Structure 1
Amino acid sequence: MNGELGNHASGSRCRIRLLCNTAALTEHLPDLLSHFLLRHPQLDLDIEERSSYQIVESLTRRQSELGLLADHTAFNALESRPFRTDRLVVIAAKHSPFFVGRKVIQFEELLTEPFVGLTSTNALQQHLEEKAKQAGKWLALRVRVATLDAICSLVTQGIGIAIVPEATYRRSQLRKRLSMVRLQDTWATRLLYLCTYCFDALSPYAAELAKHILARSDLDVPENESER
């Protein structure tokens, strides 16, 4: 902390490592972090996508200061603050007969359908494949792509269905060419939490970043439930 305060006083650059799951990285952070970085030109961020389990492990080992992850992972001894709700939904090409008359659907009902998915190293993709494995099946992946926007584009062509964060569907420019159904499984609605080993021990810039992120939470959680 003394070293970072010295850097702050001298005007030299500082760097923070922030780990995020797929939804946090692609849907919740870009606009939020751009405002913060514009206010702090001397600060650099290393933002890395990891699974929630990997984020917990890195924070516990003090290999990073902050992480945004879903509540389906045990936080162990980490301190946490609620950030936002993240829902996973199923998308298909507009008027897909598979969705006719459906407002919700179970994940296992989808496992006979062809999927458009993300790369094998993507945290969200690994999560979905693990859920399929727990159901005793495999995702029938027709194609893997690098981004959620690419998934939406391919799904509009009728190549397959996909599971994406609801925020991805809501912001997609292709939304009018897509159908969306929510997943009924309890694990498909997650709370995203900002976690660290100890909020009081954060370096000055990391503490300010944490404050900035939490000020933009969309959750109204009672004070006695703000830590897990």
Structure 2
Amino acid sequence: MLAIQISHPVPHMKLDPVSLRLFVSVVEEGTIAAAAKREHIAAAAVSKRLSELEELLDSKLLNRTNKGITPTDAGLSLLYMARSVLNNLNEIVVQMRDYSHGRRGSVKVLANISAITQFLPGLIKSFMELYPLINVSLEEKPSLAVTKNVAENQADIGIFTRLPHGADIEVFPFRTDRLVLLVPYGNPLAEHLSVRFSETLEHEYIALRSGTHLNFQLIKAANDLGRSLKIRMEVSSYDALCLMVQAGLGIGIMPAGSAEVYKMDGAKVINLDETWASRELSVCVRSRDALSVASRLFLEHLLEGQ
């Protein structure tokens, strides 16, 4: 004999957060009337929602007596799950509102080494104290790469040493820094308080790597004098430059603010008497109006007091 199994059709209604919220209210209040008052809805509407919920889940969820309403075992299980679901839904609303108001989000920042070592640590710290739910991602890049990447929408905000560029970006003044000469003790230049750049060109240099604005700036300054820069070694960071100078391997030029960061018992900082030693650092964005709320808040934080 062929056995035919007949399954009951699943009701077309869908589980929705309103029904779950009403169910939780009924269980917590103990009566439909009290739940209806709490939710500002007619008692008949609450009762209808509960019946539809039991039909949808194919389970008896509530025991109704003269003393009130209590959950069945199935209803108690649903109560825990419903509270969790409603809490998660509420958290979605809260977090999305945080994004729209700029309290939550992320900002990708590209900056050259001068900005990172001199200015950004304190600024990022104060920003994150104001907006702890905004994540700031910081990556070090040479100035030209900063402008190019921001123009190509690979970062939200860039900070670079002001230089000619062909990038389609909006630029704002940020800070100024001043270049100084770093020499090891024992070098003849260490006897001076201030020197001209031309006086340094007989000495071998520890230079920041090719592609950085500082490397380009020093080579150009030497070429403008009809001289060449004697580069003994290229390094990728200011701390490496300081260590090499202190070891007596050469002299170096770096921003005064960066030189103050490093402890240098074996080297002396000397003023560089050149107009080009004063430099402008700038902030760039592809479009200020197109920034996310979080990115716009970070931009405004950078530009405060400018």
TM-score (norm 1): 0.75
Structure 1 unaligned regions, length at least 5: 220-228
Q: CA RMSD in A?
A: 3.2
Higher relative contact order (CA 8 A, sep 6+): 1
How far has the Cα of 1:69 moved from its partner?
1.6
Pick from 225, 236, 245 the counterpart of residue 155 of structure 1: 245
Task: Specify the alignment match of 2:108 in structure 1.
Answer: 17
Which letter maps to 1:189? S
Task: Specify the alignment match of 1:45 in structure 2.
Answer: 136
Do 1:87 and 1:189's aligned partners in 2 also have CA atoms closer than 8 Å?
yes
Q: Which has the larger radius of gyration?
A: 2
Task: Specify the alignment match of 1:34 in structure 2.
Answer: 125
Which letter maps to 2:234? R
- Within 2, Cα distance between the matches of 1:57 and 1:79? 12
How far has the Cα of 1:206 moved from its partner?
0.5
Give the length in aligned residue pairs.
212
The Cα offsets for residues 141-165 of structure 1, whole Å up to 9 and x where unpaired, read as: 3333343123223322322100111
The Cα offsets for residues 33-60 of structure 1, whole Å up to 9 and x where unpaired, read as: 1232344343333322233233222333
Task: Specify the alignment match of 2:205 in structure 1.
Answer: 115
- Within 2, Cα distance between the matches of 1:103 and 1:137? 20
Pick from 163, 188, 199 the counterpart of residue 288 of structure 2: 199
Task: Specify the alignment match of 1:105 in structure 2.
Answer: 196
Structure 2 unaligned regions, length at least 5: 1-94
The Cα offsets for residues 44-87 of structure 1, whole Å up to 9 and x where unpaired, read as: 33322233233222333333221112223357653332221111
Do 2:102 and 2:297's aligned partners in 1 also have CA atoms closer than 8 Å?
no
Which letter maps to 2:274? D
Task: Specify the alignment match of 2:185 in structure 1.
Answer: 94
Select the structure that is richer in strand. Answer: 1
State the SS of the aligned residue for 2:289.
helix
Which letter maps to 2:296? A
Do 1:95 and 1:179's aligned partners in 2 also have CA atoms closer than 8 Å?
no
With over 3 angstroms needed to count, the CA separation of the structure-2 counterparts of 1:101 and 1:210, relative to structure 1, is same
Do 1:59 and 1:65's aligned partners in 2 also have CA atoms closer than 8 Å?
yes
Pick from 228, 231, 234 the counterpart of residue 141 of structure 1: 231
